Amino acid sequence: MASTSDIRNGVVLAIDGQLWSVIEFQHVKPGKGGAFVRTKLKNVVSGKVVDKTFNAGAKIDVQNVDRRDYQYLYNDGDSFVFMDVKDYDQINVPAVVVGDDSRFLLENLMVTIAMHDGQPLYTEMPPSVVLEITYTEPGLQGDRSNAGTKPATVETGAEIQVPLFVNEGTKVKVDTRTGDYLGRVND
């Protein structure tokens, strides 16, 4: 068991059977009373953020979370198959864990996966990906009723909003966190 003096940003704690990552912390020594540690914790699985205070010297349960880069191979129906590029081991990650990240998963894309006791906790996509537009309506010059954007389907099947001048076959850069169009990519 560790104590509150071991709290650092990025450390993962087990509290009430759930894993929480320390986002920020502050050691406080008030004029009266005992010292304490004020923390902001993020649930590793759900992403919920809470504030928690620990008395100085209190015992905490620090967990080991292994974050490694994996290459996406294919979708296996109810799970996604990734390969560790160092030892070529393949792992199946349930679709529930991948979540919305699956909208922009492209074969051979490198993704960071956090593992705890052999179980995948969450996936981290790169901040942006380059995808090809597979379908979009032709944009009409002068049509500004929708702020100059139109819906477009990318090669992964996700639908994004793109400017009117973007056509089918165009490669675009997409923000994986928001799904926003970031720009065209020239080959």
Q: Which has the closest alpha carbon to 167: 143, 144, 142, 133?
A: 133
The pTM for the full model equals 0.75
Q: Can you give the pLDDT at residue 130?
A: 93
The set of residues, in sequence order, having a beta carbon less than 8 Å from that of 67 and lying 6+ positions away, is: 112, 113, 114, 115, 124
- What number of other Cβ atoms are within 10 A of residue 160's Cβ? 22
Structure tokens at 125: 């996509």
The set of residues, in sequence order, having a beta carbon less than 8 Å from that of 76 and lying 6+ positions away, is: 92
Least confident of 32-36, 77-81, 140-144, 166-170: 140-144
pLDDT at residue 146 is higher than 80? no
Domains by residue range for the chain, with CATH = 2-63 (2.30.30.30), 66-124 (2.40.50.140), 128-184 (2.40.50.140)
- Mean pLDDT of the chain, nearest integer: 88
98-120 pLDDT, tens per residue? 888 899 999 999 999 988 888 88
Q: Which residue intervals of 44-91 are DSSP H helices?
A: none
Q: Can you give the pLDDT at residue 112?
A: 92
